[in-house]
Structure 1
Amino acid sequence: MIRLPVAFSATLAACALLAVPAAASGFPVTVQSCDREVTFESAPARAVSNDVNLTEMMLALGLSDRMVGYTGVSGWKTLDERLRDGVAELPELSPEYPTKEVLLGADADFYFAGWNYGMRVGGEVTPDSLAQFGISVYELTESCIHVMEKAKASMGDVYADLINLGRIFGKEEDAQALVAGYEAELADFTASLPALGNPVDVFVYDSGEDKPFTAGRYAIPTALIEAAGGVNIMDDVASSWVEIGWEPVIERNPDVVVIVNYGAVTAEQKIDFMKSNPAFKDIPAVAEDRFVVLEYVEATPGPRNIEAIKRLAAAFRS
């Protein structure tokens, strides 16, 4: 967006008081987006978000009136009734990742996405490729590992995104209040949890039969599992969401398997696959039928992460 030029005429000077509300809104603002600093001269008015969890962040901040649509939900079968109600008046512009043409066709001025959440490194839709069309991009913090070094995943990643979105849209106080509420809720919950003798070893099963797709050190399930009293057995895998082999899963003997539910293969089918495969019969989680299902929107960064932590904590203590 372009800042209006400063005027020095007597006429505009006499009307200077009219500019006070705009100045009070806090613009321009600069936020950190992965390894970039992005400055906004005013709040976006025609925003697009990609994926169900990023869209829910926008809705949690009451930003639907600043949006022209969303992308990347129905193609992955992640839409649920709670999101459907929130975006009832908004169109889905693309069922999967949008092209530049989709965003330009919507006259978007802002794109909230992440690496492998609507953008691919080296792909046609990136912050650089969209900048030439006047579309600003804010990148999901969890996904920054694809373009820079960062600390392991934490709830702080989610909180940072909400605060930054609040600043970008001139709703920082609302964002601060929302995050403070999440922090207090999580602190109260974890303080009330019965202690575990030892951390529970947990494997995250997203998809795949020949090779499983799972969450490594930089994916948000690592933070959710730790908050609930467990350890991600793939915590030493220096990646985010990643494909691995089954051998380390068998060797590390998880006590619980977290199933991420989305897509064409149901959670029940994923569980049946693990229970019917002789190679997994001695894994404690399989032998004791200790599976816990998280919806995609709960297992990716967003407002439902605390619900996910509560469900995990209950499963770890059952």
Structure 2
Amino acid sequence: MTHPRRTWALIAATTLALSACGAEVETTAEPGGATVTVTNCDEPLTVDGVPQRVVTNDTGITEMMFALGLADRVVGFSAQASKDGDIESSPWKADFESTPDIGDTFTREAVQAANPDFVFAGWNYGYKESTGLTPDWVRSIGATPYQLTEACRQPGTTQRGIMDPLDALYADIENLGDIFDVRDRADDLVAGYREQVADANATAPAGQDPTRMFLFDSATPEPFTAGRTAAPSQIFREAGGSNIFDDIDNSWTTASWEAAAQRDPQAIVIVDYNSGAGETVEAKIEQLRQHPLMSGTTAVRENNITALPYAALVEGPRNPQAVTSVADFLRSKGL
């Protein structure tokens, strides 16, 4: 993947321009410290100095900071009310427990009270016009807004996703590595992620059609699921499957039960929010079994159903392990 355009302005007396891996890097004198420019949602984003006070929204986003060893920079995180299950299963549980929780609802008041200089969220991952908490508002309080790449809006629309989901993860890790001056750590993470994904991909049976897969998040009353640019779509693909809604050019979105049943998924992955009655994996499986259309699908009839935590299925550092988990599940079912 070509690295985004990056500019480092460091304390120096000279200006040096060079290019490598398709990126142009420019170094200039800057008495106030380091200035970095990265590409975020296809736009240049300049950060003056290494951020010291970061506010994040959502578990996957927060885990990216933790994976990079930046827990000490996070002065507040917010996540959905069902976050307890995600935190309990998180490899960074200790970091969550030592980081201030600013509440279940990502609001202007909560963000501003934390006095951030950098806010990491995404469209429908905290940024919403309806709440007034937008990148422009973050700039108005003197902080830098960073947008989750999986949730970048496509030009002229509110549809989200501008690149393959795992490439979005790698881009964000690399950008954060530049912004927080931990690029070596970022590169090591991305190299490890790529290797893990390749190893899982290699287990897919040669010459066999990809397994048709359906991501079931919830139903209100139509199914909320993953389109082509949401993380599950590429997780499935790399594991040897194919998302039955890969033709939807959007990330997390609503489809129809009729379309899901007609596409006859052979395997189903459920989002496990671990949040109690009505949201349990068992309740969702029963909902599928009782549904007049879904009950006849191959996945439901053959009980080819598994579940993964929410944080494994939205963009974040658990995505590569999710590929491995889905691949192991499919192989266990002979798929």
TM-score range, shorter chain: 0.7 to 0.9
Aligned to 2:172, the other structure's residue is in SS state helix
Structure 1: gaps (5+ residues): 9-21
Q: Which structure has greater helix proportion?
A: 1
Structure 2 residue 253 is matched with structure 1 residue 246: no
Matched, 1:304 2:318: yes
Rounded to whole Å, the distance in 1 between the matches of 2:234 and 2:307 is: 16
Aligned counterpart for 1:104 among listed residues 109, 112, 125: 112
Conserved 8 A contact 1:215-1:240: yes
Does residue 228 of structure 2 align to residue 228 of structure 1?
Answer: no
Task: Name 2:69's counterpart in structure 1.
Answer: 62
Worse overlay, 246-255 or 194-203: 194-203
| Partner residue, 2:148 | 140
Aligned residues: 297
2-structure distance, mates of 1:127, 1:64: 22
Residue 3 of structure 2 is matched in structure 1 by: none
Match of 2:305 in 1: 291
1: CA distance between counterparts of 2:113 and 2:163?
A: 37
The answer to whether the Cα contact below 8 Å between 2:75 and 2:99 also exists between their aligned partners in 1 is yes
Once the two structures are superposed, residues 167-202 of structure 1 have per-residue CA deviations (whole angstroms, 9 ceiling, x without a partner) of 111111111111112112222332344436111000
> What's the counterpart of residue 154 of structure 1?
165
Question: For residues 147 and 44 of structure 1, do their structure 2 counterparts lie closer, same or farther at Cα, with a shift above 3 Å needed?
Answer: farther
CA radius of gyration, larger in: 1
1:265-295 deviations in whole A, cap 9, x for unaligned?
Answer: 1111100111122322220001101101111
What's the CA shift for 1:306?
1.4
Q: 1:300 to 1:276 in 2, by over 3 A?
A: same
- 1:146 is displaced (CA, Å) by 5.5
Q: Given the superposition, is the C-alpha separation of residues 192 and 230 from structure 1 closer, same or farther in structure 2, using an over 3 Å criterion?
A: closer
What is the CA–CA distance in structure 2 between the aligned matches of 1:77 and 1:208, rounded to whole Å?
A: 21
Q: Sort the Cα spacing of 1:209 and 1:132 in 2 relative to 1 into closer, same or farther, 3 A.
A: closer
Root-mean-square deviation (CA), in Å?
A: 2.3
User: Match of 1:127?
Assistant: 135
Structure 1 residue identity aligned to 2:301:
A
Counterparts of residues 44-123 of structure 1 (less than 5 Å) = 44-74=51-81, 76-81=83-88, 82=90, 83-96=92-105, 98-121=106-129, 123=131
Secondary structure of 1:108's counterpart equals coil
Q: Secondary structure at the match of 1:167?
A: helix
Corresponding residue to 2:223 among 212, 217, 222: 212
Separation of aligned partners in 2, 1:122 and 1:35 = 24
Residue segments in structure 2 that go unaligned for 5+ positions in a row: 1-8, 14-28
Deviation at 1:79, TM superposition (A): 3.2
